[in-house]
Amino acid sequence: MVDTRVDLCGVALSNPVIAASGTFGFGQDFAPLYDLNQLGSFSFKGTTWLPREGNPSPRIAECPAGLLNAIGLQNPGVHKVISEELPRIRQVFDKPVMANVSGFSIEDYVRVSELLDAQAQVGWLEINISCPNVHGGGMAFGTDARMAGEVTRAVRAATRKPLIIKLSPNVTDITEIARACEAEGADALSLINTLLGLRLNLKTRKPLLPFGTGGLSGPAVLPIALRMVWQVYEAVRLPLVGMGGVSSARDVIEMMLAGATAVQVGSANLIDPWACPRIIHQLPGAMAQHGISCLRDIIGGAH
Amino acid sequence: MVDTRVDLCGVALSNPVIAASGTFGFGQDFAPLYDLNQLGSFSFKGTTWLPREGNPSPRIAECPAGLLNAIGLQNPGVHKVISEELPRIRQVFDKPVMANVSGFSIEDYVRVSELLDAQAQVGWLEINISCPNVHGGGMAFGTDARMAGEVTRAVRAATRKPLIIKLSPNVTDITEIARACEAEGADALSLINTLLGLRLNLKTRKPLLPFGTGGLSGPAVLPIALRMVWQVYEAVRLPLVGMGGVSSARDVIEMMLAGATAVQVGSANLIDPWACPRIIHQLPGAMAQHGISCLRDIIGGAH
Amino acid sequence: MRQTAFTILENTPIARDTYRLRLAGDTAAFKQPGQFVNLSLPGYYLRRPFSACDWQKGELLLIYKVLGQGTADLVALRPGTRLDALCGLGRGFDLNACGRQPLLVGGGVGVPPLYRLARELVARGRTVRVALGFNTAADAFLVGELQALGAQVRVATLDGSLGERGTVLAVCDADSASDFCACGPTAMLKALCAATRLPGQVSLEERMGCGFGACMGCTVMTPAGPLRVCREGPVFDREVLAW
Amino acid sequence: MRQTAFTILENTPIARDTYRLRLAGDTAAFKQPGQFVNLSLPGYYLRRPFSACDWQKGELLLIYKVLGQGTADLVALRPGTRLDALCGLGRGFDLNACGRQPLLVGGGVGVPPLYRLARELVARGRTVRVALGFNTAADAFLVGELQALGAQVRVATLDGSLGERGTVLAVCDADSASDFCACGPTAMLKALCAATRLPGQVSLEERMGCGFGACMGCTVMTPAGPLRVCREGPVFDREVLAW
Ligand SMILES: Cc1cc2nc3c(=O)[nH]c(=O)nc-3n(C[C@H](O)[C@H](O)[C@H](O)COP(=O)(O)OP(=O)(O)OC[C@H]3O[C@@H](n4cnc5c(N)ncnc54)[C@H](O)[C@@H]3O)c2cc1C
Ligand SMILES: Cc1cc2nc3c(=O)[nH]c(=O)nc-3n(C[C@H](O)[C@H](O)[C@H](O)COP(=O)(O)OP(=O)(O)OC[C@H]3O[C@@H](n4cnc5c(N)ncnc54)[C@H](O)[C@@H]3O)c2cc1C
Ligand SMILES: Cc1cc2nc3c(=O)[nH]c(=O)nc-3n(C[C@H](O)[C@H](O)[C@H](O)COP(=O)(O)O)c2cc1C
Ligand SMILES: Cc1cc2nc3c(=O)[nH]c(=O)nc-3n(C[C@H](O)[C@H](O)[C@H](O)COP(=O)(O)O)c2cc1C
Ligand code: FES
Ligand code: FES
């Protein structure tokens, strides 16, 4: 029997597969499809202080081996997440859930984190300093080491839960940002968020998405994600949550060899609702094929 | 009849399609396949002061909708390019060719440019400050606005040919680099070079490529390339040569609407040796389909 | 929702750029007219949503129009090709909300789901009127099939080459109708809602990331808050949209 | 080089993880044994290089081993499927450089091109000896076919389950040979060159970007400078490599 368990900041995962924020809602659309407890965990939709309607449509544009999204952080706001979504999650998911926190100011991040810190169901806070789809905030925090450090410090003071900072790939040197987050007390880093991209509508001769750009995800970004996980693994001592284009058990293994302790699956959920259980189911076979008996042993194994 | 002509820095092109550097050698492998004079032009393999053998193998790794390369600027050196390759090019190509110049120091860029400046066949110098596949130099120039400006200034003093600086996409803010090049006298900018990526070999549990990372190109990068062309078009007044994942006439039109005056086709040449003439052949039909009678009219049309 | 591997039985033109795609495979997931499939096409990352035009045990009928690259490529797929699809997606037309004389209004590629809807309404003994709008006669389809069900069908074309000249509104006998069910371009749906105060259900189109509620890609803003076309829709009560 | 749309005629297992892929299509571009095709597989960006095992007018034979994901998917493709390929790539074995008693040495998936080579050498009246190396009996293929051509075939397997136990070197009668032609893993080729001073040609493998000389992806370093496996090779004179 192969051993797929990993430990993420002191919280045990039965396997490293975590559904990525924004591709899994609050779990409710997947709960009728399979037992969510098969998952290592899931990261719920980016949650902000106030409810957000998100961007005008269209919000999705197709790309080769991927998609652009410009959802704009549609979510019911942290109060409703706590009063309505967390109780509904409890009914379908017994494990600690990852809380994805988004914001437009340091104060936003802090007050959302404070409220979620008090929730027993929340296993980790994942601070999204890298959303490219909102005006004023979001990605700006993730593309500047000083600001990334400041967010980390402020949220660190607001929570005793494991603190994961989610990094933006839209930077010259991701290790600089990673080190700033480490220095200010992050417990782990997750990467990558989406890459800034653009598609045009040839009929209207205008951008397809309402604000022009959107965030690129899916298999197209896998090599970039692997490179960044690889670089950050060498730059910091923190555990990493790797993501970006992961669609199969072999991708999970590749991500872990590059340095990830756990692996998130995002876009794959959208085109195959059973992607996560399929990958989890494939894992033992893929491990056996590559002579891996214990997944923990391969974390960063390619370095 | 539709009009596909464009003007790149005062040099007329019969159509905007230019084969991209590194995917077309010095044209000789394509000359037996089709008449190269169908092309707008081609950019020959990145040329350095001294001959270079390039990197150890393997140099290629497959990716979803693209590939990583780590060729390492294998080329015969500028002297042989002038004494052997340019005369051979003249035999198969009547038009001005684009000279892709690579280097490891400002002095390198300058002396290669000086020699190529004296060649009548050379229509433009395309200064590659963005090659991710060589140690010490290359990309470092392209990820720092000050250094990019310095290279531009130095080469500007060494040539009266149209000077195109080829930008790296591996940056937080490509417009900053673009503006620095404009300020120092660039006549045009070409973008994007490859994105830094990584793939691992699950059998050896090591990176597939000998130095770990390589450069990602192909359809996977198209949305990122479009976004950067879009951003740079708004930041500078220079003509842009757009590239990254272009594989069809519709991609050419999308790139021009985003802001490109001419469009390079790279990886597509590798998987379809007839990609450039195919795209050129498709252009009039695609233009007619989208109500475009003159390609020049749509440059930057989506802004 | 169910994932089904369909096999193409037939993929043939029925009007200009319009094809009838008959698929063999499990259709048990379809419960309501107006539900859709999300079809995976070889070489494309995202799936394509198409309304179920009709279904029976083991067989699904779609009608699609060539609109972009994906549907253009679909034309080339031959019988025997297997296509993966997510089935039974969305909330369709609520038959219980339909009155005794429902008016079905369809424009362009919004017409297909009305076929199943008409069939079920006729089976329930309703007097079904159908108003169809196309650009030109060459684009028209399903007219005869709808008549054969026993529906009263009126057609409008923009150039008058078939039926009345004008938009579908020209052939909407809203006066004698108890309510309406409509599917077509947003502009048509809004014009219809502006033209009549009848109760009605409208089926919306939106670009989709997933088609089953996970991504918030297909949200439409309503007074009741943001709703997902793929999950709370594609069919909405006009009151919900406040159109 | 020529681009051909092939149609699969046959895709059947002939040894462990090893398949015979018979393709219908234009083969006029093949001039020499040892040349290869670069095959486009649905869903993959890069093409896959495979040596031509044999060809005749309108028909090409490849033998491939499942090595990674692409070849694993290839197994599932059924007769009738169309596959795009670049044909007649590379410089093959130079028959004029072969002596009267050439020794053909093949290891694993290096064996296929030796079939055509043996056939052409036999046709020229040469005495052809073939030494084949496999891991185990279950991996062996083409043994009978090569014998049927009139070649003297000796086989070695690492576990001794077929022929001699050991590497292919165990069955190379270099003494009586005029020269050799070899294809197989680099380690095997180097060992062979180390073991004999006979003149010889070796066929190399390298990861390829294009397969026709454009990208410098497949370069091998030699005393004569960097050479492209896809263009100056895949078959090189051992002298050129200085092995
Ligand atoms: C609920 C629903 C039901 C539909 N039913 C039908 C039907 O029965 N018959 C029919 O012909 N068409 C129908 N459509 C429209 C159909 O989905 C699009 O025509 C199709 O996706 C276009 O794909 P493409 O690859 O040709 O276009 P491309 O423009 O190449 O596609 C690029 C991306 O945009 C999306 N897209 C493009 N146009 C549309 C559109 N109008 N609506 C939604 N997504 C779009 C594609 O799905 C793809 O993700 C329906 C759409 C929805 C949302
Ligand atoms: C000139 C030449 C002739 C060949 N002839 C044969 C033959 O007759 N029969 C046969 O079974 N195999 C042959 N090979 C090897 C064959 O190309 C690989 O087994 C095949 O590309 C593996 O593809 P994959 O998708 O299964 O592997 P993956 O590892 O999934 O492929 C990933 C990428 O790596 C490349 N790659 C992986 N392994 C190799 C390799 N060993 N050589 C070159 N590229 C590789 C693939 O082409 C692809 O680009 C030949 C290779 C070369 C260079
Ligand atoms: C539709 C969509 C919505 C997303 N929303 C969020 C979000 O709310 N918060 C966040 O941190 N990341 C969000 N992401 C980013 C993903 O969590 C993930 O980082 C990214 O998509 C890369 O992984 P993938 O290639 O597996 O999708 C979103 C991605 C998609 C496709
Ligand atoms: C194999 C290969 C070699 C390349 N060599 C060079 C080079 O020598 N100089 C250069 O400026 N760009 C080089 N490039 C980058 C391309 O010119 C182009 O910028 C990039 O590949 C993006 O375009 P594409 O997606 O169309 O390939 C190379 C790309 C590839 C794939
Ligand atoms: S398309 Fe994803 S929620 Fe509707
Ligand atoms: S594979 Fe491109 S030069 Fe050989």
Largest CA distance in chain B: 57
Is D69 found in the same domain as D54?
Answer: yes
Q: What is the pLDDT of residue A132?
A: 67
Other C-beta atoms lying within 10 Å of the C-beta of residue C24: 17
Whether D199 is in a domain gets the answer yes
Other C-beta atoms lying within 10 Å of the C-beta of residue D185: 15
Is C157 found in the same domain as C182?
Answer: yes
Q: Which of C40, C208, C219 sits opposite A74 (nearest CB)?
A: C219
Is C145 found in the same domain as C55?
Answer: no
Q: Tell me the backbone φ, ψ of residue A163, rounded to 5 degrees.
A: -110, 115
Model confidence pLDDT, tens digit, residues B248-292: 999 999 999 999 999 999 999 999 999 999 999 999 999 999 999
State whether residue B221 sits within 8 Å of chain A by CB: yes
Mean pLDDT of chain B: 96
Whether D138 is in a domain gets the answer yes
SS3 A69: strand
Gap from CA of D204 to ligand 6 centroid (Å): 13
B9 is catalytic: no
Between A and C, how many residue pairs show a Cβ–Cβ distance under 8 A? 90
Does the pTM surpass 0.90? The reply is: yes
Residues 238 through 267 of chain B touching chain A, CB cutoff 8 Å: 245, 250, 253-254, 257-258
Whether C231 is in a domain gets the answer no
CATH numbers and ranges of domains, chain B = 6-298 (3.20.20.70)
Is D111 found in the same domain as D47?
Answer: no
Q: Are B75 and B51 in contact (CB under 8 A)?
A: yes
Is C63 found in the same domain as C45?
Answer: yes
Taking any CB pair shorter than 8 Å as contact, residues of chain A touching chain C are 22-25, 28-30, 32-33, 45, 53-54, 56-67, 69, 71, 74, 218-219, 269-274
Q: Residue C12: in which H helix or E strand, if any?
A: strand C2-15
Percent residues over pLDDT 90 in chain B: 95
CA separation, residue A31 to residues A35, A90, C68, D88, D120 (Å) = 6, 11, 34, 54, 64
Gap from CA of D218 to ligand 6 centroid (Å): 5
* Number of structural domains found in chain C: 2
Give CA–CA dist B90/B117, Å, rounded: 16
Whether D42 is in a domain gets the answer yes
Chain B interface disruption, residue of D45, D91, D222, D232, most B CBs within 10 A: D45
What is the band of D176 on the pLDDT scale with cuts at 50, 70, 90?
Answer: confident
Is C82 found in the same domain as C103?
Answer: no
Mean pLDDT of chain A: 96
Residue A1 scores a pLDDT above 90: no
The stretch B107-120 carries a mean pLDDT of 97
The dihedral built from the CA positions of residue C61, C66, C68 and C71, taken in this order, carries a sign that is positive
Is D141 found in the same domain as D112?
Answer: yes
Q: Are A77 and C225 in contact (CB under 8 A)?
A: no
Is D36 found in the same domain as D13?
Answer: yes
Judging contacts by C-beta atoms under 8 Å, the chain B residues touching residue D231 are: 29
CATH number at residue C60: 2.40.30.10
Q: How does DSSP assign A2-48, residue by residue? A: -B--EEETTEEESSSEEEPTTSSTTSTTTTTTS-GGGSSEEB---B-
Model confidence pLDDT, tens digit, residues A91-129: 999 999 999 999 989 999 999 999 999 999 999 999 999
Percent residues over pLDDT 70 in chain A: 97
Q: How does DSSP assign D78-104, residue by residue? A: PTT-EEEEEEEESB---GGG--SSEEE
Is D126 found in the same domain as D73?
Answer: no
Q: What range defines the domain where residue D61 resides?
A: 2-89
Bridge partner residues of D24 (DSSP): D7, D59
Whether D32 is in a domain gets the answer yes
Give CA–CA dist A27/D183, Å, rounded: 55
What is the band of A141 on the pLDDT scale with cuts at 50, 70, 90?
Answer: confident
Whether C61 is in a domain gets the answer yes
Give CA–CA dist C101/C180, Å, rounded: 9
Give CA–CA dist A262/B281, Å, rounded: 48
C185 in contact with ligand 5, CB cutoff 6 A: no
Pull the structure tokens for residue C89.
């997606």
Is C40 found in the same domain as C9?
Answer: yes
Is C111 found in the same domain as C85?
Answer: no
Whether D49 is in a domain gets the answer yes
Gap from CA of C216 to ligand 5 centroid (Å): 5
State whether residue B224 sits within 8 Å of chain A by CB: yes
Q: What's the gap in Å between the CA of B184 and the closest CA on chain A?
A: 22
Model confidence pLDDT, tens digit, residues C173-229: 878 899 999 999 999 999 999 999 999 999 999 999 999 999 999 999 999 999 999
Mean pLDDT is lowest, of A127-136, A203-212, B274-283, D198-207, for: A127-136
Which one, of A300, A302, A303, A282, lies nearest residue A4 by Cα?
A: A282
Contacts of C126 (CB under 8 A, 6+ apart): C98, C99, C100, C101, C102
Length of chain D: 243
Quick one: which atom of ligand 6 is closest to the CA of D213?
3
Mean pLDDT of chain C: 96
Percent residues over pLDDT 70 in chain B: 97
C68 in contact with ligand 1, CB cutoff 6 A: yes
Q: Which of A9, A63, A131, A276 is catalytic?
A: A131
Q: Which of B45, B63, B71 sits opposite D217 (nearest CB)?
A: B71
Gap from CA of A140 to ligand 5 centroid (Å): 27
Digit-by-digit pLDDT tens for chain C (243 residues) are 999 999 999 999 999 999 999 999 999 999 999 999 999 999 999 999 999 999 999 999 999 999 999 999 999 999 999 999 999 999 999 999 999 999 999 999 999 999 999 999 999 999 999 999 999 999 999 999 999 999 999 999 999 999 999 999 999 987 889 999 999 999 999 999 999 999 999 999 999 999 999 999 999 999 999 999 999 999 999 999 998
The stretch B53-79 carries a mean pLDDT of 97
Q: Are B215 and B69 in contact (CB under 8 A)?
A: yes
Q: What is the pLDDT of residue A10?
A: 97
Model confidence pLDDT, tens digit, residues A142-192: 899 999 999 999 999 999 999 999 999 999 999 999 999 999 999 999 999
All chains having 3 or more CB pairs closer than 8 angstroms to chain A: B, C
Is D146 found in the same domain as D71?
Answer: no
What is the band of B141 on the pLDDT scale with cuts at 50, 70, 90?
Answer: confident
The residue to which tokens 């991040």 are assigned: A109
Q: Do B302 and A245 touch (CB under 8 A)?
A: no
Contacts of D20 (CB under 8 A, 6+ apart): D10, D11, D12, D13, D14, D61, D62, D63
Whether C241 is in a domain gets the answer no
B289-296 LR contacts (CB < 8 Å, sep 24+): B290/A202, B290/A203, B290/A205, B290/B253, B292/B2, B292/B253, B293/B2, B293/B3, B294/B2, B294/B3, B295/B2, B295/B3, B295/B4, B295/B5, B295/B6, B295/B15, B295/B16, B295/B256, B296/B3, B296/B5, B296/B6, B296/B7
CATH number at residue D163: 3.40.50.80
Residue where a domain stops, chosen among D46, D67, D89? D89
Residue where a domain stops, chosen among C56, C89, C122? C89
Q: What is the pLDDT of residue C175?
A: 80
Q: C85-114 b/e with 16+ CB inside 10 Å = b? A: bbbbbbbbbebeebeeebbbbbbbbbbbbb
Model confidence pLDDT, tens digit, residues A12-29: 999 999 999 999 999 999
What is the band of B172 on the pLDDT scale with cuts at 50, 70, 90?
Answer: very high
